[in-house]
A and B are shown apart, each in its own frame.
Chain A
Amino acid sequence: MNLIHLIRNRDWRWAVLPLTLLTVWYVVTTLGWVNTKLIVPPEKVYQAAVKAISRDGFMEGVEASLMRDMSGFVIGSFAGIVFGVLLGLSRWTERIVGPTFNTLKHISLFAWLPLISTWLGTGDSAKIVFISLTTFYPVAINTFDGVRSVPRTQLEVARVYAFTRWQSITRLIVPAASPQILTGLHLGLIYAWMATIGAEFLLVTADTGLGDAVIKGRAAFNVELIVFGMLIIGLVGALLNFIATRIESHLLAWRGDRT
Protein backbone atom coordinates (compact mmCIF):
# COMPACT_ATOMS: atom_id res chain seq x y z
CA MET A 1 0.00 0.00 0.00
CA ASN A 2 2.66 2.41 1.09
CA LEU A 3 4.98 1.27 -1.66
CA ILE A 4 2.34 1.78 -4.34
CA HIS A 5 1.73 5.22 -2.92
CA LEU A 6 5.44 5.98 -3.06
CA ILE A 7 5.79 4.80 -6.65
CA ARG A 8 2.72 6.73 -7.76
CA ASN A 9 3.82 9.95 -6.16
CA ARG A 10 7.28 10.03 -7.69
CA ASP A 11 7.95 11.53 -11.07
CA TRP A 12 9.24 8.66 -13.18
CA ARG A 13 9.42 10.50 -16.51
CA TRP A 14 13.22 10.61 -16.34
CA ALA A 15 13.20 6.83 -16.88
CA VAL A 16 11.54 7.03 -20.30
CA LEU A 17 14.63 7.91 -22.29
CA PRO A 18 17.08 5.40 -20.72
CA LEU A 19 14.54 2.59 -21.01
CA THR A 20 13.87 3.44 -24.65
CA LEU A 21 17.58 3.48 -25.43
CA LEU A 22 18.08 0.19 -23.62
CA THR A 23 15.21 -1.36 -25.59
CA VAL A 24 16.53 -0.09 -28.93
CA TRP A 25 20.01 -1.32 -28.00
CA TYR A 26 18.62 -4.74 -27.11
CA VAL A 27 16.45 -5.03 -30.23
CA VAL A 28 19.08 -3.97 -32.79
CA THR A 29 21.73 -6.27 -31.32
CA THR A 30 19.40 -9.26 -30.91
CA LEU A 31 18.04 -8.95 -34.46
CA GLY A 32 21.59 -8.60 -35.75
CA TRP A 33 21.01 -5.23 -37.49
CA VAL A 34 24.44 -4.01 -36.38
CA ASN A 35 27.94 -5.42 -36.14
CA THR A 36 27.81 -6.96 -32.68
CA LYS A 37 31.59 -6.86 -32.44
CA LEU A 38 31.45 -3.04 -32.33
CA ILE A 39 28.05 -2.64 -30.72
CA VAL A 40 27.92 -5.41 -28.17
CA PRO A 41 24.59 -6.64 -26.83
CA PRO A 42 23.53 -5.56 -23.33
CA GLU A 43 23.74 -9.04 -21.88
CA LYS A 44 27.41 -9.22 -22.86
CA VAL A 45 28.05 -5.99 -21.00
CA TYR A 46 26.22 -7.47 -18.04
CA GLN A 47 28.40 -10.60 -18.19
CA ALA A 48 31.55 -8.48 -18.47
CA ALA A 49 30.32 -6.48 -15.48
CA VAL A 50 29.82 -9.58 -13.35
CA LYS A 51 33.21 -10.89 -14.38
CA ALA A 52 34.96 -7.57 -13.77
CA ILE A 53 33.40 -7.00 -10.38
CA SER A 54 34.16 -10.52 -9.15
CA ARG A 55 37.72 -10.26 -10.44
CA ASP A 56 40.37 -9.14 -7.96
CA GLY A 57 41.42 -5.56 -8.32
CA PHE A 58 38.36 -3.98 -9.91
CA MET A 59 36.93 -2.45 -6.78
CA GLU A 60 40.44 -1.40 -5.82
CA GLY A 61 40.58 0.39 -9.15
CA VAL A 62 37.38 2.30 -8.39
CA GLU A 63 38.73 3.11 -4.97
CA ALA A 64 42.07 4.30 -6.35
CA SER A 65 40.29 6.59 -8.82
CA LEU A 66 38.05 8.02 -6.11
CA MET A 67 41.03 8.62 -3.84
CA ARG A 68 42.83 10.57 -6.56
CA ASP A 69 39.64 12.46 -7.33
CA MET A 70 39.08 13.43 -3.70
CA SER A 71 42.71 14.34 -2.97
CA GLY A 72 42.85 16.58 -6.03
CA PHE A 73 39.44 18.07 -5.27
CA VAL A 74 40.30 18.89 -1.64
CA ILE A 75 43.66 20.48 -2.52
CA GLY A 76 42.27 22.37 -5.51
CA SER A 77 39.19 23.69 -3.75
CA PHE A 78 41.11 24.78 -0.66
CA ALA A 79 43.59 26.65 -2.84
CA GLY A 80 40.73 28.04 -4.94
CA ILE A 81 38.81 29.42 -1.98
CA VAL A 82 41.88 31.01 -0.39
CA PHE A 83 42.96 32.50 -3.71
CA GLY A 84 39.44 33.71 -4.57
CA VAL A 85 38.96 35.36 -1.18
CA LEU A 86 42.35 37.09 -1.26
CA LEU A 87 41.81 38.31 -4.81
CA GLY A 88 38.29 39.51 -4.01
CA LEU A 89 39.28 41.29 -0.81
CA SER A 90 41.94 43.58 -2.05
CA ARG A 91 42.02 45.78 -5.10
CA TRP A 92 45.77 45.66 -4.85
CA THR A 93 46.14 41.89 -5.25
CA GLU A 94 43.51 41.97 -7.94
CA ARG A 95 45.55 44.45 -9.95
CA ILE A 96 48.76 42.50 -9.46
CA VAL A 97 47.47 38.96 -9.89
CA GLY A 98 44.19 39.35 -11.78
CA PRO A 99 45.48 39.87 -15.34
CA THR A 100 47.94 36.96 -15.13
CA PHE A 101 45.28 34.72 -13.69
CA ASN A 102 42.82 35.68 -16.41
CA THR A 103 45.38 34.91 -19.09
CA LEU A 104 46.46 31.59 -17.62
CA LYS A 105 42.91 30.33 -17.30
CA HIS A 106 42.60 30.38 -21.09
CA ILE A 107 45.22 27.66 -21.42
CA SER A 108 43.28 24.44 -21.95
CA LEU A 109 43.70 22.34 -18.85
CA PHE A 110 44.85 19.37 -20.90
CA ALA A 111 47.67 21.50 -22.28
CA TRP A 112 49.18 21.40 -18.79
CA LEU A 113 49.57 17.63 -18.95
CA PRO A 114 52.86 17.43 -20.92
CA LEU A 115 54.45 19.90 -18.52
CA ILE A 116 53.10 18.13 -15.45
CA SER A 117 54.29 14.73 -16.67
CA THR A 118 57.70 16.14 -17.54
CA TRP A 119 58.09 17.41 -13.99
CA LEU A 120 56.31 14.75 -12.01
CA GLY A 121 56.15 11.70 -14.26
CA THR A 122 52.92 9.81 -14.68
CA GLY A 123 52.35 8.61 -11.12
CA ASP A 124 49.74 9.59 -8.58
CA SER A 125 51.29 12.95 -7.74
CA ALA A 126 51.11 14.09 -11.37
CA LYS A 127 47.49 13.00 -11.60
CA ILE A 128 46.56 14.69 -8.35
CA VAL A 129 48.26 17.93 -9.40
CA PHE A 130 46.27 17.87 -12.63
CA ILE A 131 42.99 17.20 -10.81
CA SER A 132 43.75 20.00 -8.29
CA LEU A 133 44.42 22.42 -11.10
CA THR A 134 41.13 21.49 -12.77
CA THR A 135 39.23 22.05 -9.52
CA PHE A 136 41.08 25.24 -8.70
CA TYR A 137 39.77 27.38 -11.57
CA PRO A 138 35.99 27.14 -11.11
CA VAL A 139 36.33 27.39 -7.34
CA ALA A 140 38.64 30.42 -7.50
CA ILE A 141 36.55 32.26 -10.10
CA ASN A 142 33.24 31.71 -8.31
CA THR A 143 34.69 32.54 -4.90
CA PHE A 144 36.12 35.77 -6.30
CA ASP A 145 32.73 36.72 -7.79
CA GLY A 146 31.00 35.93 -4.51
CA VAL A 147 33.41 37.96 -2.41
CA ARG A 148 33.15 40.87 -4.84
CA SER A 149 29.39 40.96 -4.67
CA VAL A 150 29.09 41.25 -0.88
CA PRO A 151 26.86 44.34 -0.52
CA ARG A 152 28.48 47.55 0.72
CA THR A 153 25.55 47.99 3.11
CA GLN A 154 26.48 44.79 4.95
CA LEU A 155 30.13 45.79 5.11
CA GLU A 156 28.89 48.92 6.88
CA VAL A 157 27.13 46.71 9.42
CA ALA A 158 30.46 44.97 10.06
CA ARG A 159 32.06 48.36 10.69
CA VAL A 160 29.26 49.48 13.02
CA TYR A 161 29.83 46.40 15.18
CA ALA A 162 33.59 46.92 15.08
CA PHE A 163 34.40 43.62 13.33
CA THR A 164 38.09 42.89 12.98
CA ARG A 165 39.29 42.05 9.49
CA TRP A 166 39.30 38.35 10.33
CA GLN A 167 35.75 38.60 11.72
CA SER A 168 34.62 40.40 8.57
CA ILE A 169 35.99 37.55 6.48
CA THR A 170 34.67 34.67 8.56
CA ARG A 171 31.40 36.18 9.80
CA LEU A 172 30.35 38.18 6.78
CA ILE A 173 32.28 37.79 3.54
CA VAL A 174 32.60 34.00 3.37
CA PRO A 175 29.00 33.28 4.44
CA ALA A 176 27.67 35.99 2.11
CA ALA A 177 29.72 34.52 -0.73
CA SER A 178 28.84 30.93 0.19
CA PRO A 179 26.20 30.44 -2.53
CA GLN A 180 28.79 31.26 -5.19
CA ILE A 181 31.55 29.35 -3.40
CA LEU A 182 29.31 26.28 -3.30
CA THR A 183 28.52 26.70 -6.99
CA GLY A 184 32.27 26.73 -7.63
CA LEU A 185 32.80 23.66 -5.47
CA HIS A 186 30.00 21.84 -7.24
CA LEU A 187 31.51 22.60 -10.63
CA GLY A 188 34.93 21.70 -9.27
CA LEU A 189 33.64 18.32 -8.12
CA ILE A 190 32.26 17.51 -11.57
CA TYR A 191 35.42 18.72 -13.32
CA ALA A 192 37.63 16.84 -10.88
CA TRP A 193 35.98 13.55 -11.76
CA MET A 194 36.38 14.21 -15.48
CA ALA A 195 40.00 15.16 -14.85
CA THR A 196 40.55 11.95 -12.89
CA ILE A 197 39.46 9.79 -15.81
CA GLY A 198 41.28 12.05 -18.27
CA ALA A 199 44.49 11.81 -16.27
CA GLU A 200 44.20 8.04 -16.11
CA PHE A 201 43.74 7.88 -19.87
CA LEU A 202 46.56 10.20 -20.71
CA LEU A 203 49.07 9.50 -17.96
CA VAL A 204 49.07 5.74 -18.37
CA THR A 205 50.90 3.76 -15.74
CA ALA A 206 50.69 0.29 -14.35
CA ASP A 207 48.53 1.71 -11.56
CA THR A 208 45.01 0.62 -11.00
CA GLY A 209 42.08 2.91 -11.70
CA LEU A 210 38.84 3.09 -13.62
CA GLY A 211 40.47 4.82 -16.56
CA ASP A 212 43.13 2.13 -16.74
CA ALA A 213 40.46 -0.57 -16.77
CA VAL A 214 38.85 1.05 -19.80
CA ILE A 215 42.24 1.41 -21.51
CA LYS A 216 42.93 -2.28 -20.93
CA GLY A 217 39.57 -3.06 -22.46
CA ARG A 218 40.47 -1.13 -25.56
CA ALA A 219 43.86 -2.81 -25.81
CA ALA A 220 42.14 -6.18 -25.70
CA PHE A 221 39.39 -5.01 -28.08
CA ASN A 222 36.99 -5.84 -25.28
CA VAL A 223 34.11 -3.50 -26.14
CA GLU A 224 31.84 -4.80 -23.38
CA LEU A 225 34.49 -3.91 -20.81
CA ILE A 226 34.83 -0.42 -22.31
CA VAL A 227 31.06 0.12 -22.15
CA PHE A 228 30.92 -1.18 -18.60
CA GLY A 229 33.76 1.16 -17.61
CA MET A 230 31.88 4.08 -19.13
CA LEU A 231 28.74 3.19 -17.23
CA ILE A 232 30.63 3.06 -13.94
CA ILE A 233 32.35 6.38 -14.66
CA GLY A 234 28.97 7.94 -15.43
CA LEU A 235 27.36 6.45 -12.36
CA VAL A 236 30.11 7.66 -10.04
CA GLY A 237 29.85 11.14 -11.59
CA ALA A 238 26.07 11.18 -11.12
CA LEU A 239 26.45 10.01 -7.53
CA LEU A 240 28.99 12.75 -6.74
CA ASN A 241 26.68 15.29 -8.32
CA PHE A 242 23.73 14.03 -6.28
CA ILE A 243 25.69 14.24 -3.02
CA ALA A 244 26.90 17.75 -3.88
CA THR A 245 23.36 18.91 -4.65
CA ARG A 246 22.08 17.58 -1.34
CA ILE A 247 24.88 19.19 0.68
CA GLU A 248 24.41 22.46 -1.19
CA SER A 249 20.69 22.71 -0.55
CA HIS A 250 21.23 21.77 3.08
CA LEU A 251 23.89 24.45 3.60
CA LEU A 252 21.84 27.08 1.78
CA ALA A 253 18.58 26.33 3.57
CA TRP A 254 18.70 29.90 4.96
CA ARG A 255 17.81 31.21 1.51
CA GLY A 256 14.34 29.68 1.74
CA ASP A 257 12.70 27.71 -1.01
CA ARG A 258 14.60 29.15 -3.90
CA THR A 259 15.41 26.66 -6.61
Chain B
Amino acid sequence: MAHAATLEIKNLNKQYKVRGESLPVLENISLSIKPGEFVSIVGSSGCGKSTLLKLIIGLEDDYQGELLLDGSRIVGTSLERGIVFQEHRLFPWLTVEQNISIGLLNNTKFSEEEKRKSVQEHIELVGLKDFAGAYPYQLSGGMSQRVAIARALVNRPEVLLLDEPFGALDAFTRAFLQQELQRIWEKEGITMIQVTHDVEEAVYLGDRVVVMQPRPGRIKRIIDVPLPRERNRSSAEFIAIKEEVLREFSHTADASAGLIEKAASNEEYSHSNELSYQA
Protein backbone atom coordinates (compact mmCIF):
# COMPACT_ATOMS: atom_id res chain seq x y z
CA MET B 1 0.00 0.00 0.00
CA ALA B 2 1.30 3.43 -0.93
CA HIS B 3 2.16 6.06 1.58
CA ALA B 4 -0.64 8.60 1.91
CA ALA B 5 0.22 12.25 1.96
CA THR B 6 -0.58 15.06 4.34
CA LEU B 7 -1.46 18.21 2.46
CA GLU B 8 -1.15 21.53 4.22
CA ILE B 9 -2.53 24.67 2.58
CA LYS B 10 -1.82 27.87 4.49
CA ASN B 11 -2.99 31.35 3.50
CA LEU B 12 -2.86 30.51 -0.17
CA ASN B 13 -3.41 33.41 -2.56
CA LYS B 14 -3.35 33.40 -6.33
CA GLN B 15 -3.88 36.13 -8.91
CA TYR B 16 -4.11 36.11 -12.68
CA LYS B 17 -2.91 38.97 -14.77
CA VAL B 18 -5.64 40.06 -17.13
CA ARG B 19 -4.66 42.92 -19.42
CA GLY B 20 -2.14 44.22 -16.94
CA GLU B 21 -4.58 44.13 -14.06
CA SER B 22 -4.28 41.63 -11.29
CA LEU B 23 -7.40 39.57 -10.73
CA PRO B 24 -7.59 37.63 -7.47
CA VAL B 25 -8.63 34.02 -8.06
CA LEU B 26 -7.95 32.46 -4.70
CA GLU B 27 -7.91 34.39 -1.45
CA ASN B 28 -6.60 33.18 1.83
CA ILE B 29 -7.25 29.48 1.45
CA SER B 30 -6.26 27.40 4.46
CA LEU B 31 -6.98 23.71 4.60
CA SER B 32 -5.29 20.80 6.25
CA ILE B 33 -5.83 17.37 4.76
CA LYS B 34 -4.98 14.23 6.71
CA PRO B 35 -3.29 11.18 5.16
CA GLY B 36 -5.84 8.92 3.53
CA GLU B 37 -8.63 11.46 3.79
CA PHE B 38 -11.16 12.03 1.01
CA VAL B 39 -11.96 15.72 0.63
CA SER B 40 -14.66 17.01 -1.72
CA ILE B 41 -14.54 20.59 -2.91
CA VAL B 42 -17.74 22.11 -4.27
CA GLY B 43 -18.49 25.54 -5.58
CA SER B 44 -20.03 27.27 -8.54
CA SER B 45 -18.08 28.06 -11.70
CA GLY B 46 -15.35 30.61 -11.17
CA CYS B 47 -14.78 29.91 -7.49
CA GLY B 48 -11.23 28.87 -8.30
CA LYS B 49 -11.61 25.21 -7.35
CA SER B 50 -9.96 24.00 -10.53
CA THR B 51 -7.18 26.53 -10.09
CA LEU B 52 -6.62 25.15 -6.60
CA LEU B 53 -6.12 21.67 -8.05
CA LYS B 54 -3.80 23.05 -10.73
CA LEU B 55 -1.65 24.58 -8.02
CA ILE B 56 -1.56 21.35 -6.02
CA ILE B 57 -0.67 19.23 -9.07
CA GLY B 58 1.96 21.82 -10.04
CA LEU B 59 0.68 22.81 -13.49
CA GLU B 60 0.54 26.36 -12.17
CA ASP B 61 3.12 28.08 -10.05
CA ASP B 62 3.35 31.60 -8.87
CA TYR B 63 1.25 31.68 -5.73
CA GLN B 64 1.56 33.32 -2.33
CA GLY B 65 1.27 31.43 0.90
CA GLU B 66 2.19 27.86 1.61
CA LEU B 67 1.37 24.66 -0.20
CA LEU B 68 3.04 21.77 1.59
CA LEU B 69 3.00 18.07 0.79
CA ASP B 70 4.33 16.09 3.74
CA GLY B 71 5.94 19.29 4.95
CA SER B 72 7.80 20.27 1.77
CA ARG B 73 6.79 23.03 -0.58
CA ILE B 74 5.16 21.96 -3.86
CA VAL B 75 7.18 22.99 -6.91
CA GLY B 76 6.15 21.77 -10.37
CA THR B 77 4.64 18.42 -11.17
CA SER B 78 5.69 15.18 -9.53
CA LEU B 79 4.84 11.52 -9.87
CA GLU B 80 3.86 11.59 -6.18
CA ARG B 81 0.78 13.55 -7.15
CA GLY B 82 -1.68 12.08 -9.64
CA ILE B 83 -4.59 13.78 -11.37
CA VAL B 84 -7.72 12.78 -13.26
CA PHE B 85 -9.19 15.52 -15.44
CA GLN B 86 -12.79 15.98 -16.50
CA GLU B 87 -11.90 14.78 -19.99
CA HIS B 88 -10.04 11.49 -19.98
CA ARG B 89 -7.09 12.95 -21.95
CA LEU B 90 -5.91 9.54 -23.08
CA PHE B 91 -3.55 9.34 -26.05
CA PRO B 92 -5.76 8.01 -28.84
CA TRP B 93 -2.85 6.28 -30.63
CA LEU B 94 -2.07 4.10 -27.61
CA THR B 95 -3.98 1.07 -26.33
CA VAL B 96 -5.46 0.96 -22.83
CA GLU B 97 -2.38 -0.86 -21.54
CA GLN B 98 0.04 1.55 -23.27
CA ASN B 99 -1.89 4.55 -21.99
CA ILE B 100 -1.57 3.31 -18.43
CA SER B 101 2.12 2.48 -18.94
CA ILE B 102 2.87 5.99 -20.17
CA GLY B 103 2.33 7.12 -16.58
CA LEU B 104 5.41 5.10 -15.62
CA LEU B 105 7.66 6.50 -18.33
CA ASN B 106 9.76 8.49 -15.89
CA ASN B 107 9.28 6.37 -12.83
CA THR B 108 12.74 5.53 -11.48
CA LYS B 109 11.56 3.93 -8.26
CA PHE B 110 10.08 0.79 -9.83
CA SER B 111 12.03 -2.00 -11.50
CA GLU B 112 10.84 -3.16 -14.92
CA GLU B 113 9.16 -6.09 -13.22
CA GLU B 114 7.37 -3.83 -10.73
CA LYS B 115 6.24 -1.59 -13.56
CA ARG B 116 4.71 -4.49 -15.45
CA LYS B 117 3.02 -5.66 -12.28
CA SER B 118 1.67 -2.22 -11.45
CA VAL B 119 0.17 -1.82 -14.93
CA GLN B 120 -1.55 -5.21 -14.74
CA GLU B 121 -2.81 -4.57 -11.22
CA HIS B 122 -4.29 -1.23 -12.17
CA ILE B 123 -5.93 -2.57 -15.31
CA GLU B 124 -7.61 -5.09 -13.05
CA LEU B 125 -8.36 -2.49 -10.39
CA VAL B 126 -10.52 -0.54 -12.83
CA GLY B 127 -12.01 -3.73 -14.28
CA LEU B 128 -10.68 -3.42 -17.84
CA LYS B 129 -8.72 -6.64 -18.15
CA ASP B 130 -10.56 -7.62 -21.31
CA PHE B 131 -9.89 -4.25 -22.89
CA ALA B 132 -6.13 -3.99 -22.35
CA GLY B 133 -5.48 -4.01 -26.08
CA ALA B 134 -8.34 -1.69 -27.05
CA TYR B 135 -7.87 1.83 -28.41
CA PRO B 136 -9.69 4.78 -26.81
CA TYR B 137 -12.08 5.14 -29.75
CA GLN B 138 -13.39 1.68 -28.88
CA LEU B 139 -14.22 2.65 -25.28
CA SER B 140 -17.26 4.33 -23.76
CA GLY B 141 -16.84 7.58 -21.83
CA GLY B 142 -17.03 5.75 -18.49
CA MET B 143 -14.42 3.19 -19.54
CA SER B 144 -12.08 5.91 -20.80
CA GLN B 145 -12.35 7.68 -17.47
CA ARG B 146 -11.51 4.43 -15.68
CA VAL B 147 -8.38 4.13 -17.82
CA ALA B 148 -7.52 7.70 -16.84
CA ILE B 149 -7.90 6.76 -13.17
CA ALA B 150 -5.62 3.74 -13.65
CA ARG B 151 -3.04 5.91 -15.43
CA ALA B 152 -3.12 8.38 -12.54
CA LEU B 153 -2.68 5.63 -9.94
CA VAL B 154 -0.08 3.48 -11.69
CA ASN B 155 2.82 5.37 -10.05
CA ARG B 156 1.22 4.72 -6.65
CA PRO B 157 1.03 8.44 -5.86
CA GLU B 158 0.49 9.72 -2.34
CA VAL B 159 -2.36 11.92 -3.35
CA LEU B 160 -4.88 11.72 -6.17
CA LEU B 161 -6.59 14.85 -7.43
CA LEU B 162 -9.85 14.59 -9.33
CA ASP B 163 -11.08 17.56 -11.34
CA GLU B 164 -14.79 16.92 -11.95
CA PRO B 165 -13.88 13.44 -13.14
CA PHE B 166 -17.42 12.25 -13.81
CA GLY B 167 -18.89 15.57 -14.92
CA ALA B 168 -19.19 14.55 -18.56
CA LEU B 169 -20.80 11.17 -17.92
CA ASP B 170 -24.45 10.13 -17.82
CA ALA B 171 -26.15 9.68 -14.43
CA PHE B 172 -26.01 5.87 -14.33
CA THR B 173 -22.35 5.66 -15.28
CA ARG B 174 -21.58 8.43 -12.82
CA ALA B 175 -23.24 6.66 -9.88
CA PHE B 176 -21.44 3.45 -10.77
CA LEU B 177 -18.04 5.14 -11.04
CA GLN B 178 -18.57 6.94 -7.73
CA GLN B 179 -18.96 3.53 -6.13
CA GLU B 180 -15.90 2.30 -7.99
CA LEU B 181 -13.86 5.28 -6.88
CA GLN B 182 -14.87 4.69 -3.27
CA ARG B 183 -13.73 1.07 -3.56
CA ILE B 184 -10.41 2.14 -5.14
CA TRP B 185 -9.85 4.77 -2.45
CA GLU B 186 -10.40 2.20 0.29
CA LYS B 187 -8.13 -0.31 -1.41
CA GLU B 188 -5.27 2.10 -2.19
CA GLY B 189 -5.56 3.98 1.08
CA ILE B 190 -4.28 7.24 -0.40
CA THR B 191 -5.37 10.82 0.03
CA MET B 192 -7.92 12.01 -2.51
CA ILE B 193 -9.16 15.50 -3.29
CA GLN B 194 -12.08 15.81 -5.61
CA VAL B 195 -13.49 18.94 -7.17
CA THR B 196 -17.09 18.64 -8.30
CA HIS B 197 -20.25 20.63 -8.73
CA ASP B 198 -22.40 17.62 -7.98
CA VAL B 199 -23.33 18.04 -4.32
CA GLU B 200 -24.57 14.47 -3.95
CA GLU B 201 -21.27 13.17 -5.30
CA ALA B 202 -19.37 15.41 -2.89
CA VAL B 203 -21.31 14.09 0.11
CA TYR B 204 -21.27 10.48 -1.08
CA LEU B 205 -17.49 10.34 -1.38
CA GLY B 206 -16.11 12.98 0.98
CA ASP B 207 -15.02 12.71 4.60
CA ARG B 208 -15.41 16.47 4.45
CA VAL B 209 -17.08 18.78 1.98
CA VAL B 210 -15.38 22.13 1.40
CA VAL B 211 -17.80 24.73 0.07
CA MET B 212 -16.13 27.52 -1.90
CA GLN B 213 -17.55 30.83 -3.02
CA PRO B 214 -16.41 32.87 -6.00
CA ARG B 215 -14.83 36.24 -6.68
CA PRO B 216 -12.35 35.87 -5.26
CA GLY B 217 -12.33 32.14 -4.54
CA ARG B 218 -12.60 31.54 -0.80
CA ILE B 219 -13.60 28.75 1.51
CA LYS B 220 -17.05 29.46 2.80
CA ARG B 221 -17.57 26.48 5.05
CA ILE B 222 -16.30 23.01 5.70
CA ILE B 223 -18.93 20.36 6.47
CA ASP B 224 -18.06 17.01 8.02
CA VAL B 225 -19.71 13.88 6.69
CA PRO B 226 -19.57 11.48 9.66
CA LEU B 227 -21.51 8.70 7.92
CA PRO B 228 -20.27 5.13 7.67
CA ARG B 229 -19.43 3.75 4.24
CA GLU B 230 -20.81 2.55 1.96
CA ARG B 231 -23.29 5.40 2.19
CA ASN B 232 -26.96 5.15 1.47
CA ARG B 233 -27.94 8.06 -0.73
CA SER B 234 -31.57 7.93 0.39
CA SER B 235 -30.98 7.74 4.15
CA ALA B 236 -32.27 10.65 6.22
CA GLU B 237 -28.79 11.55 7.50
CA PHE B 238 -27.35 11.61 4.00
CA ILE B 239 -30.12 13.83 2.71
CA ALA B 240 -29.79 16.15 5.71
CA ILE B 241 -26.09 16.72 5.00
CA LYS B 242 -26.79 17.18 1.31
CA GLU B 243 -29.39 19.82 2.17
CA GLU B 244 -26.95 21.55 4.45
CA VAL B 245 -24.35 21.79 1.67
CA LEU B 246 -26.96 22.94 -0.81
CA ARG B 247 -28.03 25.72 1.53
CA GLU B 248 -24.48 27.09 1.59
CA PHE B 249 -24.40 26.79 -2.14
CA SER B 250 -27.55 28.80 -2.76
CA HIS B 251 -26.42 31.63 -0.43
CA THR B 252 -23.25 31.90 -2.42
CA ALA B 253 -25.09 31.95 -5.70
CA ASP B 254 -27.48 34.67 -4.49
CA ALA B 255 -24.72 36.89 -3.24
CA SER B 256 -22.77 37.11 -6.46
CA ALA B 257 -24.86 35.66 -9.23
CA GLY B 258 -23.87 38.27 -11.72
CA LEU B 259 -20.19 38.04 -11.03
CA ILE B 260 -19.78 34.31 -11.30
CA GLU B 261 -19.78 34.16 -15.04
CA LYS B 262 -17.34 36.99 -15.40
CA ALA B 263 -14.86 35.42 -13.05
CA ALA B 264 -15.25 32.11 -14.84
CA SER B 265 -14.53 33.62 -18.21
CA ASN B 266 -11.52 35.42 -16.83
CA GLU B 267 -10.20 32.17 -15.54
CA GLU B 268 -10.65 30.58 -18.94
CA TYR B 269 -8.89 33.51 -20.52
CA SER B 270 -5.74 33.18 -18.51
CA HIS B 271 -5.63 29.40 -19.00
CA SER B 272 -5.73 29.71 -22.73
CA ASN B 273 -2.94 32.25 -22.53
CA GLU B 274 -0.37 29.97 -21.09
CA LEU B 275 0.18 27.68 -24.00
CA SER B 276 3.56 26.25 -23.44
CA TYR B 277 5.39 23.29 -24.82
CA GLN B 278 7.84 22.82 -22.02
CA ALA B 279 8.14 19.32 -20.74
- Asked if A158 lies at the interface with its beta carbon under 8 angstroms from chain B, I say yes
Residues in B neighbouring A165, C-beta threshold 8 A: 278-279
Of the residues A154, A155, A176, A178, contact of B276 by C-beta under 8 Å: A155
| Proximity bits, B56-87, A CB within 8 Å = 1, else 0 | 01010000000000000000011100110101
Query: What's the nearest-Cβ distance from chain B to residue A254, in Å?
Result: 5
Tell which of B83, B87, B93, B279 touches A168, judged by Cβ atoms closer than 8 Å. B279
Q: State whether the Cβ of B105 lies closer than 8 Å to any Cβ in chain A.
A: yes
Bound-state CA distance A90–B278 (Å) is: 10
Residue of B at shortest CB range from A160?
B77
Are B57 and A153 neighbours in the complex by a CB distance under 8 Å?
A: no
Instruction: Specify which of A155, A157, A161, A164 lies most central, judged by the most chain B CB atoms within 10 Å of its CB.
Output: A161
Tell me whether B226 is interfacial, beta carbon within 8 Å. Answer: no
Q: Tell me the complex Cα distance, A39–B57, Å.
A: 74
B137 touches A256 (CB 8 A): yes
Q: In the assembled complex, which residues on chain A have CB atoms less than 8 Å from the CB atom of B136?
A: 254
Please pick, from B106, B277, B278, the residue contacting A161 in the complex, using a CB distance under 8 A: B106
Query: Is B103 positioned at the interface, with any CB of A under 8 Å from its CB?
Result: yes
Cα–Cα distance between A256 and B137 once the two chains are bound (Å)? 6
B102 at the interface (CB under 8 A from A): yes
Say whether, besides A90-B277, A161-B103, A254 and B89 are in contact (CB < 8 Å). Answer: no
A47 on the B face (CB < 8 A):
no
Name the CB-closest residue of A to B79. A162
Closest Cβ neighbor of B83 among chain A residues:
A160
Closest Cβ of chain B to A151, distance in Å, is 8
Shortest Cβ distance from A88 into chain B, in angstroms? 9
Is there a chain A Cβ closer than 8 Å to B16's Cβ?
no
Contact B106 A162 (CB under 8 A): yes
User: In whole Å, how far is B253's beta carbon from the nearest beta carbon of chain A?
Assistant: 28
For residue B91, CB closer than 8 A to chain A, the reply is: yes
What's the Cα separation between A178 and B91 when bound, in Å?
A: 12
Q: Report Cα–Cα, A253/B83, bound state, in Å.
A: 28
Residues of chain B touching chain A, judged by Cβ–Cβ distance below 8 Å, are 57, 59, 77-79, 82-83, 85, 87, 89, 91-94, 102-103, 105-106, 135-138, 272, 275-279
* 4 closest Cβ pairs, A-B complex: A256-B137, A165-B279, A254-B93, A162-B106
- Which of B82, B103, B277 meets A155, CB within 8 Å? B277
Q: Smallest distance from the beta carbon of B192 to chain A beta carbons, Å?
A: 16
Partner of A153 from the list B85, B137, B276 (CB cut-off 8 Å) is B85
Nearest CB in chain B: distance from A157 CB, A: 5
- Whether, in the assembled complex, A159 has its beta carbon less than 8 Å from a beta carbon of chain B, the answer is yes
Number of contact residues on A: which range applies? 20 to 34
A256 touches B105 (CB 8 A): no
Q: How far is the CB of B84 from chain A (nearest CB, A)?
A: 10
Contact between chains at A254 and B92 (CB < 8 Å): yes
CA distance A157 to B151 in the complex (A): 11
- Bound-state Cα–Cα, A162 to B103, Å: 9
Residue A167, interface by CB 8 Å: yes
A selection of 20 A-B contacts at a CB cut-off of 8 Å is A152-B275, A153-B89, A154-B91, A156-B59, A157-B89, A159-B59, A161-B77, A161-B103, A163-B105, A164-B106, A164-B279, A165-B278, A167-B279, A168-B277, A171-B102, A172-B91, A176-B91, A254-B92, A254-B94, A255-B92
Any B CB within 8 A of the CB of A202: no
How many Å lie between the Cα of A152 and that of B272 in the bound state? 8
Establish whether residues B77 and A167, one from each chain, have CB atoms under 8 Å apart when the complex forms.
Answer: no
* B137 close to A167 (CB less than 8 A): no
Say yes or no: A175-B137 contact (C-beta < 8 A), given A156-B59, A160-B57, A161-B79.
Answer: no
Chain A residues near B272 (CB-CB < 8 A)? 152
Q: Is A163 within 8 A of B279, CB to CB?
A: yes
Chain B proximity of A134: nearest CB distance (Å): 29
**Residue A254 contacts which of B79, B83, B87, B137 (CB distance < 8 angstroms)?**
B137
Closest CB-CB distance, A87 to chain B, in whole Å? 12
Q: A163-B105, A168-B277, A172-B91 are in contact. List 10 more A-B contacts (CB 8 A).
A: A89-B277, A152-B272, A159-B59, A161-B77, A161-B102, A162-B78, A164-B279, A165-B279, A167-B106, A178-B93
Complex formed: what's the CA distance from A255 to B136 in Å? 9
A175 — which chain B residues lie within 8 A by C-beta?
91, 93
Which residue of B57, B78, B93, B279 contacts A158 across the interface (Cβ within 8 Å)?
Answer: B279
Compute how far the CA of A253 lies from the CA of B95 in the bound complex, rounded to whole angstroms.
11
Most buried by A among B85, B87, B105, B275: B105
